[in-house]
Chains A and B, each alone.
Chain A
Amino acid sequence: MTTFLGMPALPAFGSGNLFAGESFPKAAHRELGNAQLRANLGHATHTIRDKRQAVVSELPDWEQLRDAGSAIKESVMARLPDLLEEFEKNFTARGGVIHWARDAREANEIVAGLVRETGETEVVKVKSMATQEIGLNEYLEEQGIQAFETDLAELIVQLDHDKPSHILVPAIHKNRTEIRDIFLREMPGADPALTNDPPVLAMAAREHLRRKFLTAKVAVSGANFALADSGTLAVVESEGNGRMCLTLPETLITVMGIEKLLPTWQDLEVFMQLLPRSSTGERMNPYTSLWTGVTEGDGPQNVHLVLLDNGRTAALADEMGRSALHCIRCSACMNVCPVYERTGGHAYGSTYPGPIGAILSPLLTGIQAEENNSLPYASSLCGACYDACPVKINIPDILVHLRSVDVDSKRGTRKVPSQMDVGMKAASWALSSGKHLGLLEKGLPLGRLAAGRDKKIKKLPGIAGGWTQSRDIPAPPAQSFRDWWAKEHKSAVPSQDNKETQQ
């Protein structure tokens, strides 16, 4: 039993599919061993990367568009409570029903309850990150409700009882032959003569899905944008399956993160330029559906929206990290990321993989949740993600910020300090004075000795062994630059604060 004291609760962290179940290095080690995965991913990410680059570089005002997108999102985050209330008022006035969900469990219960009210046991689904995040399909299944994914790639993943590995191309880790095999194995009534030709595979999926569209009474969707000034929701998709789900059923239930708001209709023009070029590398999005409440005699007559927090308020409270909420789920960052390209999305555990996942997951769940503290380290900080981000989320800076949150959260909690703690402390002493560093450099000849006859250091102990697993270290020089300089300029230098080290 808890007693309500009238105090607002601290921002709650998120739950659901937001956790790395094992540390990133461990998961990455396993995924790196999968040669087929590496080949599929390398091919797919390079294709999308090139396509994006081509359509982005043809726009003379691309950088201004990014600035505009970033500024709009910043203003949304600065006045999110007001915009949410404005949206609620307008959405309700047009016949929609708003539900507020604190976390994954609440959102799942609300959706299941709404489906149950209709008496249906099947729903069709539009591809949605929010419902992946809360694990809706699994929850509905427990409640005796079957959810059918209608996006082709989501369908493939669902039929294979697998997890998406990319937010835009969920089956990016599969090649067409693997997809044919999944269809033959799992799709009821699949033609045994099915080939691995993409149009043939698409037609097979189309036939399978068409039956579902025409019979479903309830659809569940996510939303890419919500416009506060009119109470309008928007879904952006490529296959038309979304349009079917959003228009044919009687009941439409949308689950959307509270950060998806835009203040006005006009703001949409910026994002409809940024999103398709960044995500699929297209100039224009193929199917853009917008709906505002209920229209009598046209489309779903029961329209619901579940507004999901699930850690977003906690992320918003992090001054350095809050811009991660600007994300429009385009996936440009993962397509250019050299780490994602090699490990794939499953290594990140959470629904959100790649660079954005490495910051968003720990921001939503708190850094100490499960293995999420390993995610901010899953980057060489090369910065390719920041350059590609259409809303200019400074992912490298937020990664570094979260690393410091992780390190600080562990200060004083360990009985025995970690190797990294000890090393960093020692290095802080050595590198915070020219005198100290100069003193240490006197030991360079020892390193030469350790390097031996072939003048290479091939094995180091402890965490430094990570370096020597694939890299030699050259034998150090006999003399540091500092020493050389001091000898060269002895008479010319009147006073130096590291004098002793130069003798």
Chain B
Amino acid sequence: MRIALFATCIVDAMYPATARATVRILERLGHEVVFPAGQACCGQMHVNSGYLKEAVPVVANHVAAFDTADYDVAVAPSGSCVASVKHQHPMVARSCGDTALEARATAVGAKTYELSELLVDVLGVTDAGAQLGSYFPHRVTYHPSCHGMRLLRLGDRQSRLLRTVQGIDLADLPEADQCCGFGGTFSMKNADVSSAMLKDKAANVEATGAELCTGGDASCLMHIGGGLSRQGSSTTTLHLAEILASTMEEPASVTGEVRVSTGKALR
């Protein structure tokens, strides 16, 4: 299968290791990955902040980058950005009266999958250890991000994949379904409430005794990780793509300052 990677702007600029891990997983399954070079961002920040007019060119750019017959399905390592592509893009096109863009956006949305959704529903991955060689001998807890959970209804796809990683010690996160408080510009416009939500999420993460908290959205992980870091916690965050891509021969790369060093335990 020919799979187009939508890296998402935050992963492209801040967490490239997550996108590289996504590529590795898909290639390991024997698929070809392409990266439409015109891509930039889903535009969710603009839409959710009320700047619909400014969102139009962002959405139009995404549709132009992915509106080709050059690939079978598109994938992004983010529930939130995929939900935006699927649900918000046609709405944005409608808001500016562009019916042609709406139709194209709807078609792109129908071909776009969140990573765990693609792995489980389309590529038939039921055992990450056996099928992907995933190996990650660490105590990990998992935060199911709101948009993956409620807009894409990912259910237990992500946690099922994590559970089948060899060597992993997956600890249940108390109050897992509670929002971490990120919410895009909400974290700045309502910084006090957002911080109060984050404080409770970070406390729940720490209570599990996990070395790191994983999830399917880099933005939420940056938020949780940023809070843990500020509190001086040794617990950190890592995208689930990197855990799935990690193998005994090629353990999760922890180069780059974005990552915590888990290298010691891995070697």
Question: Which of B100-108, B123-131, B177-185, B205-213 faces chain A?
Answer: B177-185
Of the candidates B16, B60, B194, B257, the one whose C-beta lies within 8 Å of that of A481 is: B16
Asked whether, in the complex, the Cβ of B150 is within 8 Å of the Cβ of A400, the reply is: no
Known interface pairs A382-B179, A474-B257; A497-B37 also in contact (CB < 8 Å): yes
Residues 122-146 of A contacting B (Cβ, < 8 Å):
none
Once bound together, how far apart are the Cα atoms of A436 and B57, in whole Å?
A: 12
- Interface pair A466/B191, CB less than 8 Å apart: yes
B193 interfacial contact with A, CB 8 Å: yes
Bound-state Cα–Cα, A474 to B256, Å = 10
A502 to B38 Cα, complex, angstroms: 12
Distance A370 CA – B146 CA, assembled complex (angstroms): 31
Residue tally, chain B, CB below 8 Å to A: 72
A437 and B12 contacting across the interface, CB-CB below 8 Å: yes
Q: Name the A residues within 8 Å of B179 (CB-CB).
A: 338, 380, 382, 384
B197: chain A residues within 8 A (beta carbon):
338-339, 342, 380
CA distance A401 to B257 in the complex (A): 38
CB contacts (< 8 Å) of A437 on chain B: these are 9, 12-13, 40-41
Q: B190, A474: Cβ atoms under 8 Å?
A: no
- Which listed residue, B16, B36, B192, touches A479 by the CB 8 Å rule? B16
Is A391's beta carbon under 8 Å from chain B? no
Report the contact-size class of chain A (Cβ under 8 Å from the partner): 35 or more
CB-contact partner of B38 in A477, A478, A497, under 8 A: A497
Which residues of chain B from 8 to 45 have a CB within 8 Å of any chain A CB?
9, 11-17, 19-20, 35-41, 43, 45
Q: Which residue of B lies closest to A498 (CB)?
A: B37
- Would you call B146 and A441 a contact (CB within 8 A)? no
B193, A343: Cβ atoms under 8 Å?
yes
The minimal Cβ–Cβ distance linking A427 to chain B, given in whole angstroms, is 7
Once the chains bind, are A424 and B193 in contact (CB under 8 Å)?
A: no
- The yes or no answer to A194 lying at the interface (CB within 8 A) is no
Contact between chains at A432 and B257 (CB < 8 Å): no
| Cβ–Cβ contact B65 & A434, under 8 A | yes
**Nearest neighbor of A419 in chain B, beta-carbon distance:** B188
Judged by a CB distance under 8 angstroms, whether A109 is at the interface is no
* Cα–Cα, bound, A465→B55 (Å): 24
B170 to chain A minimum Cβ distance, whole angstroms, is: 23
B40 touching A433, Cβ below 8 Å: yes
B264 located at the interface, meaning its Cβ lies under 8 Å from any Cβ of chain A in the complex: no
Does A24 lie within 8 Å of B41, measured CB to CB?
no
Q: Is the interface of A mostly helix, strand, loop or mixed?
A: helix
User: Do residues B258 and A338 form an inter-chain contact, with CB atoms below 8 A?
Assistant: no
Contacting residues, chain B, for A386 (C-beta < 8 A) = 150
With a CB–CB cut-off of 8 A, which chain B residues contact A493? 37
The chain A residue sitting closest to B231, CB to CB, is: A470
Rounded to whole angstroms, the CA-CA distance of A425 and B57 in the bound complex is 11
A482 touches B7 (CB 8 A): yes
B218-231 interface bits toward A, Cβ cutoff 8 Å, 1 = contact, 0 = none: 00001101110110
Residues of chain B contacted by A458 (CB below 8 angstroms): 230
Chain A residues numbered 470-503 whose CB sits less than 8 Å from any CB in chain B:
470-482, 484-486, 489, 493, 496-499, 502
Counted as pairs of residues, one from A and one from B, with CB atoms less than 8 Å apart, the total is 220
Q: Tell yes or no: A98 within 8 A of B by CB.
A: no
Cβ distance A184 to chain B, nearest Cβ, rounded Å: 33
- Give Cα distance in the complex from A25 to B193, angstroms: 8
A residues in contact with B51, CB < 8 Å: 404, 407, 424, 428
Contact check: which of B40, B185, B256 meets A431 at CB < 8 Å? B40
> Which of A339, A406, A451 has its CB near the most chain B CB atoms (within 10 A)?
A339
Q: Does B189 contact A (CB under 8 A)?
A: yes
Contact, CB under 8 Å: A342 / B196: yes
Q: How far is the CB of A361 from chain B (nearest CB, A)?
A: 16
Chain A residues whose CB sits within 8 angstroms of the CB of B54 once the complex forms: 424-425, 427-428
Q: Does B61 contact A (CB under 8 A)?
A: yes
**Nearest CB of chain A from residue B124's CB, rounded to whole Å:** 27
Which of B54, B58, B95, B230 has most chain A Cβ within 10 Å? B54
CB-CB contacts of A379-417 with B at 8 A, as 1s and 0s?
Answer: 111111011000000000000101111111000000000
B150 partner residues in chain A, CB cutoff 8 A: 382-384, 386-387
Interface residues of A in 423-450 (CB under 8 A from B): 424-425, 427-428, 430-437, 440-441, 444, 448
| A400, B50: Cβ atoms closer than 8 Å | yes
Residues from chain A with a CB closer than 8 A to the CB of B13 are 437, 440-441, 444, 476, 480-481
With an 8 A cutoff between CB atoms, is A156 at the interface? no
B residues less than 8 Å from A479 (CB atoms): 16
Q: Does B52 contact A (CB under 8 A)?
A: yes
Interface bits B238-256 vs A (CB < 8 Å: 1, else 0)? 0000000000000000001
Query: 17 pairs across A/B with beta carbons < 8 Å?
Result: A384-B179, A406-B50, A407-B49, A425-B54, A427-B54, A428-B55, A431-B61, A433-B38, A433-B61, A467-B188, A470-B191, A471-B230, A477-B258, A478-B256, A480-B16, A482-B7, A499-B37
A-contacting residues of B (Cβ < 8 Å)? 7, 9, 11-17, 19-20, 35-41, 43, 45-55, 57-58, 60-61, 65, 95, 146-147, 150-151, 177-179, 181-199, 222-223, 225-227, 229-230, 256-258
Q: 16 additional contacts, CB 8 Å, given A25-B193, A420-B49?
A: A339-B197, A381-B146, A382-B146, A403-B50, A407-B49, A433-B38, A434-B65, A437-B13, A437-B40, A440-B13, A441-B12, A448-B257, A463-B189, A471-B195, A481-B7, A493-B37
